[in-house]
Structure formats: structure tokens, C-alpha cells
Amino acid sequence: MAKADILGESLWDAYSDKVTTLMNNPLHQGEIFEADAQARGHKLIVADFGAESCGDAVRLYWEIDSKTDTIVNSKFKSFGCGTAIASSDVMTELCIGKTVAQAVKITNIDVEMALRDDPDTPAVPPQKMHCSVMAYDVIKKAAGLYMGVDSESFEEEIIVCECARVSLKTLQEVIKLNDLTTIEQITDYTKAGGFCKSCIKPGGHEEREYYLVDILRDTRREMDEEKMKAAADASASGESKFEDMTLVQQIKAVDAIIDDSVRQFLVMDGGDMEVIDIKPTDEYIDIYIRYLGACNGCASSATGTLYAIESTLKEKLSSNIRVLPI
Amino acid sequence: MQVYLDNNATTMVDPLVVQEMMPFFSEIYGNPNSLHKFGTASHPAISKAIDQVYTALNASDEDDIIFTGCATESNNWVLQSIFTDYIVNGDKNHIITSEVEHPSILSTCKFLEEQGVKVTYLPVNDQGIVEAETLRGFITEKTALVSIMWASNETGMIFPIAEIGEICKEKGVLFHSDAVQAVGKIRVDLQKVHVDFLSMSAHKFHGPKGVGALYIKNSQALTPLLHGGEQMRGRRSGTLNVAYIVGMGKAIELATQDIEITGAKIREKRDRLEDALVELSDTFVVGDRWNRTPNTILISIRGVEGEGMLWDLNNGQIGASTGSACASEDLEANTVMLAIGADNELAHTGIRLSLSRFTTDEEIDYTINHFKEAVARLRAISSSFAKQQPTVGGEVQECELHH
């Protein structure tokens, strides 16, 4: 929210002139009947998408010359708002003259672009972007009917945000590459979730298979796992810096050094020690230890012995280590 | 011709009201709290406005009617302060409301739920109203407040406020009514019904926007929402909005002095419009008209999507609504239509037409013509009326989108 958002937009003023014109006078509104198409030696395909109960429904008609698989004529019927009617109209326009294989490549982005008055200004406000997605969906359905295949087979990748056509793979990559942590960042980087918002989380305009919140959480978890695995591998091969280790790895490393080079001398004098905690501060990595047995209360435990433990750990692990007996 | 049929969203300020307000901008502009004559000069006009509001609602002198910024403030005040007084600082934890209230009630209830309050949203019947007896079973000893609207903004349906008030009185539970759509449209007589708190807003009855009121029975305790300079005896701080209070007084007087006569005239035009529109096939109007505010029609037109219809009406210079004006930009199904159990598909086809005492017969004639033309055009485009059936496999079984 800022100054420009205080009043809020006027929905209809955000429509392009083309949307307004086509809503008022759609050019390809109407029906093509089976008998007429047959008489012309063509095949008719009619596909529905959406339903009145969703608030949006479209019926697409394709008259196809089966010798060339070309869509020779196309019409639509629509139960919907102005942008739904205008999107459907432009969709039929884009289909006419194309082969079915070409038509199936038409996306909602193409439909929305075709509705723009100038290439840089969106034709519809973000929340209306889903109207053009319906155009894309009904084309796939019609093509599936004509080709006798499942319409899902035209989708080569998993599309998470239909409005901006952003795939699952792209989202995962962008999150990882840019170390994104919020949905807002994802929208800034990819535009996903910036339109009808259905893909952000469950409960939006449309039910989705994938939601940005889940993708973000799962990708972050994957990133953490990768990071930990890398740290574990590095630590196992002895290449890892103490500072970069996870806490558990640090404790293990400290214990290993103590077992190797310290404990035997303490045990000789009837004492022992344990590591209580490791805490990185701005200046040091503090290792809290507790003396056991004879060490407890021994005069040198605060001087010579402590110095010996600290310098061993410093030498073997990190010069930033400070040992604090408690 | 230009026709405004969205009077449940807001109304034109009556020119007589504007005239009454004018002196209080640049002539009598003192702060009524000041001791000097600049301040006290406005006192007679404010006293008159107070009288006008008390008279219009038939309130007792022992009751308080406190001017607020709007009905949203009045509604928030009641809910949030009942929360403070009876839930945080008391042993109650429950509020009852209905599922069709205005967002200023529903969103506030959701907010209170986040604070741990239990809220019951009463269902409505096929008329879109809460039945009084439904309420009875939900009241417990933990119930702090019942908040039920007097009339629906979307359907105009009038709720059984007298019966609900009696049940609350019998059970010893506080009762608030959001009467924004009732005051100025139908008689609201506070001697005839038991209500503890009542919200109203001036701009719904030809007064200015930015002023409303909260009625508080017997001046009972209710923690203020706004703290500050102790105006209105500390019940609602903030310098008195003199011109607007004066305007509200005049507006409520004009709206209520002959309310039965004015209401009957509006009803006559409304009924004529409604009768003409239901001549169209596959339409229905929500709620029995005898139990509606006299100015409201919520009509469903099969095969015509609500926003598309608004668009065509707007092209014909007619201003209408798909439901609540506050919701007209979020494109969702009409919540009241869903609540009354209308088919899902009809919930996207609701158009609300709301008249006022300024609506003329010529405007009604114009609207009838244009409305029918718009329905004809949109039905010609509509997939709902298409004749050619889809190719086998091309049908849609059910809604693939989600609401």
C-alpha cells in the first residue's frame, strides 16, 4: 500500500479499449451447427470449459478441414463478464486459419497480448487475467477432442501459475538461485501469483494442484538438506571449515579432537570433561565445557589445562575458538 | 437519461440537507467544545439534530444516541467494546451473528475469533433471513452479544427484529442490530422493539457520507472505541463534525416524517419495475416483496453473468450493483444467494436494483426497456442458451474452478 493504492483501482477503467470494444460488439460470437459444417465437408468440434456455477463458462466451436487439419472458422458462446467475452472473441480470431497443432500453441498470454492497445500496457487488471486462461484451456480441450488425445498431454511442463504461465521447474530454480524466502519475492522475480492469486495458497478463485506456499516451503527444505549434505560431505573429507559446520558437526569435531589429544591426559590425573554447548558470537566461537572428577576444582583447570585444551582446539579447528569452563 | 438505482450503496444528499449544512462550514465554524461564542454558536443546531434523531427513532431521553464517523465505526465499536467489557474483563466468550451481515460485522467477528472469541454465524432460510427461533438454541450463558441486521443490504429482506429482541431480553443477552438499511426506509420505533445497540449511517437516507450514529439503550456502559478529548461525555472523542451532524438530523427528519407515505410511493415504483422484469423467462427475485424494504430488488437472470449485466446497464447510463457495493470488485458469487441455498449458478447472476424517493416513473420506464435489451443481448452471447451441443467428451460435468 502506498499513495497510488489508497483509492483503489476502478476495475473497468483498467480495461483496454479493445476489451471494451469487443465486449460491446464481439465479432465471432455465435454458433456453428453440425449439419452446416458437414454440408461444407468439414468436421465440427465443440468444447465447453467452466460452468455457470463458477461464474464463467465458454463454449468454443471449431470448423475444421480434416484434409489439412486447418481451422477454417471458429465461434464462441460465453457466460461471463466483459473480459471473458472479449478474451473469447480474440481467442477465436487467433484460431481461425491455423492448424489444430498450431492453435494448441496459443496461450493465455497470446490472448491477453492481442487485447492490448499498446504492447506495454496490460489489457486487463491482474484479477481478470484468469479470463484469458479459460481461452487457453478450452483450446486445449478442443484440440484433444479433435486429435483423440487427453488435453493434458499438450502441457509439456507443470504450470503452477496459469495467468503468468510459470512452471514448477522455473519456480524451483528461481527460488534456489536467488535464495528467495517470501511469496512476494517470488512474485517480483517471476510474476507468478501476481494475477488472480489462485496459485498462492488454497482457498483462492480456483483449486490448484500446486501452490506457491508449498513450493517455497519444499524448495527451502530441499535447499537446507542440500546445504547440510554438502557440509557433512566436506566435514567427512576433512575439507570443511569449522565455522561452516552445523552445530552437531561442530560438537562431533570438538569431541573427536578431545578424544584424540586431550582426554587421555585428564584421565591420567583421575579427571575428565564434557562439551556442554557451542555458541558462535561476533568475535569468538565459544565452547562451553564442564570438568568432571578430579579436574573439578583442580587449580590448573582454570589456567594450564584450560590453555592446553583451547590451544589444541584452536590449532586443529579454528583460531576463533574460545573455551569457557562452567 | 441517467438512472441511479444503487441507493442501498449510497444516496444522493437531499438539496434541503445541503442547505441546512452550509452555514456550518464557513460561518459558524467554532469548535462546539470552546467556551467562546464562536463555539457555542453551533449548539442550538446540534441540539436540534439530536432532537431530530431521537424523534425519528422514537428513542427515550434516558437512551444515548452518539454520533460516529459511519456505521462501520458504530458496528466496530459495539463488537470490539463488548469484547473488552464482557469477554476480556468478564466471563463471557461467545458472540452470535448471522452469515449474511455486512463486512463491518463479519470481518470484525473474524478478527475477534483470532483473539479467541467463539462466534456463531446463524444460517438464513430461503427468504434470506434468520428465523427468531433458530437463535434461541444457540444462546448459552457464555453469550455476550447477539448482533443481527435489521434489513439486508443485498436483498432488502427485513429480519424479525422484534422477536429476536424479545428472545435476547428473555435470555438476558445484549442485542445489537445493524439498522443501516432500515433507518429511513422503514419505520424503526425503539419503543416497540427491544434493542440494546443500533447502528445507522446518514448517507443511506440522503444525508452526507462520513457521519453515522450508535444508539445505546438506557445509556448503558460501553467502553469507548475512540479515546481523546471527551466529546459526547467521553463516549466518542473527536471534535464534533458539526455540519454533518446537522445534515444527518435534517436527513433523518425528512426520511422519516412521512415514511409510510413515501415508502408506499417507492414501493409502487419498485413493484412495477419488478413485475416488468420477472416477465422475462428464467428469472427470480429473492424474498417475498411484502417483507422487503420498499426500494430493493435482487433479481437473478439465468444465463446472464452479473458483472456483464452491470456493464450493459452502465452503458445505458443505469447504475446498479451485483450485491454489496463493497464486494463488487472482488468478483465473487453473491454470498446471500449462496446462503439462501440458491443454485450455485444463480449466485453469479444476481443484480440488485435499489430505488429512492427521488426515483421517477420515467426512470423506471427507461430502466425496464434498457434492462430487457441488455438481457436479450447477453443471452444471445451466453453459452447457457447455445443450441449446438458439445462434441462427445467436450462437456463440462461440474465447476472446475473453485469458490
Per-residue confidence (pLDDT) for residue B397, from 0 to 100 = 66
* Residue range B261-270: mean pLDDT, rounded: 98
Full-model pTM: 0.82
Per-residue confidence (pLDDT) for residue A155, from 0 to 100 = 77
**pLDDT of B329 strictly over 60:** no
**pLDDT of B317 strictly over 80:** yes
User: Contact, A138 vs A123, CB < 8 A?
Assistant: no
- Cα–Cα distance for residue pair A281/A320, rounded to 1 Å: 10
Runs of H (alpha helix) within B206-258: 242-256
**pLDDT of B332 strictly over 60:** no
Q: Find chain A residues with C-beta within 8 A of B337's C-beta.
A: none
Pick one of 3.90.1010.10, 3.90.1150.10, 1.20.1730.10, 3.90.1410.10 as the CATH number of A3-155. Answer: 3.90.1010.10
The reply to whether ipTM tops 0.85 is: yes
Per-residue confidence (pLDDT) for residue A249, from 0 to 100 = 83
Residue among A48, A55, A207 whose CB faces B394 most closely? A48
Q: Which class is B3-9+259-382 in CATH?
A: alpha beta
Superfamily (CATH H level) for A242-325: Fe-S cluster assembly (FSCA) (3.30.300.130)
Closest CA to B44 of B254, B256, B249: B249
pLDDT tens-digit map of B340-382: 766 666 778 889 999 999 999 999 999 999 999 999 999 999 9
CA distances from A137 to A131, A307, B55, B86, B166 (A): 10, 73, 61, 53, 55
Q: Is A81 tagged catalytic?
A: no
Contact B398 A50 (CB under 8 A): no
> Which range is least confidently modeled, A202-211, B74-83, B306-315?
A202-211
All CATH 3.90.1010.10 domain ranges of chain A, comma separated, are 3-155
Are β-strands B64-68 and B212-216 bridged in parallel, bridged antiparallel, or unpaired?
antiparallel
Residues of chain B above pLDDT 70, percent? 94
Q: Give B381's DSSP letter.
A: H
pLDDT tier for residue B333 given thresholds of 50, 70 and 90: low
- To test the contact with chain B by mutation, choose from A53, A92, A150 the residue with the greatest count of B C-beta atoms within 10 A, namely A53
Stated as kind and residue range, the H or E segment containing A166 is strand A166-167
Query: Which positions in chain B have a beta carbon within 8 angstroms of at least one beta carbon in chain A?
Result: 303-305, 307-308, 311, 314-315, 329-331, 333, 343-345, 347-349, 380-391, 393-396, 398-403
User: Contact, B252 vs B16, CB < 8 A?
Assistant: no
pLDDT tens-digit map of B175-206: 999 999 999 999 999 999 999 999 999 999 99
Contact A82 B311 (CB under 8 A): yes
Per-residue confidence (pLDDT) for residue A300, from 0 to 100 = 75
- What SS3 state is found at B348? helix
Q: Find chain A residues with C-beta within 8 A of B344's C-beta.
A: 52-53
- Spatial CB neighbours of B256, under 8 Å, sequence gap ≥ 6: B56, B183, B184, B187
The cell for A79 is 457466460
Tell me the CATH architecture of domain B16-256: 3-Layer(aba) Sandwich (3.40)
The cell for B354 is 435499489
Per-residue confidence (pLDDT) for residue B324, from 0 to 100 = 44
| Neighbour-count burial for B148-186, b at 16+ CB within 10 Å, e otherwise | bbbbbbbbbbbbbbeebbebbeeeebbbbbbbbbbbbbb
- Cα–Cα distance for residue pair B403/B401, rounded to 1 Å: 7
Contact A206 B401 (CB under 8 A): yes
What residues of chain A score a pLDDT lower than 50?
none
- Cα–Cα distance for residue pair A195/A118, rounded to 1 Å: 19
Q: Is A37 on the interface with B (CB under 8 A)?
A: no
pLDDT tens-digit map of B113-125: 999 999 999 999 9
All CATH 3.30.300.130 domain ranges of chain A, comma separated, are 242-325
- Spatial CB neighbours of A251, under 8 Å, sequence gap ≥ 6: A275, A278
- Cα–Cα distance for residue pair B14/A138, rounded to 1 Å: 51
Contact A54 B399 (CB under 8 A): yes
All CATH 3.90.1150.10 domain ranges of chain B, comma separated, are 3-9+259-382
> Which range is least confidently modeled, A138-152, B8-22, B204-218?
A138-152
Are β-strands B212-216 and B318-319 bridged in parallel, bridged antiparallel, or unpaired?
unpaired
Mean pLDDT of the residues in chain B: 93
Per-residue confidence (pLDDT) for residue B222, from 0 to 100 = 97
List the end-to-end C-alpha distance of chain A, in Å, as a whole number.
52
List the end-to-end C-alpha distance of chain B, in Å, as a whole number.
37
Residue among B343, B344, B383 whose CB faces A59 most closely? B383
Q: Is A131 tagged catalytic?
A: yes
**C-beta neighbour count of B331 within 10 angstroms:** 19
The cell for A234 is 566436506
pLDDT tier for residue B238 given thresholds of 50, 70 and 90: very high
- Cα–Cα distance for residue pair A52/A31, rounded to 1 Å: 18
User: Contact, B64 vs B55, CB < 8 A?
Assistant: no
Per-residue confidence (pLDDT) for residue B167, from 0 to 100 = 98
Per-residue confidence (pLDDT) for residue A316, from 0 to 100 = 86
Q: Indicate which residue of B70, B109, B326, B399 is catalytic.
A: B326
Q: Find chain A residues with C-beta within 8 A of B350's C-beta.
A: none
User: Contact, B32 vs B240, CB < 8 A?
Assistant: yes
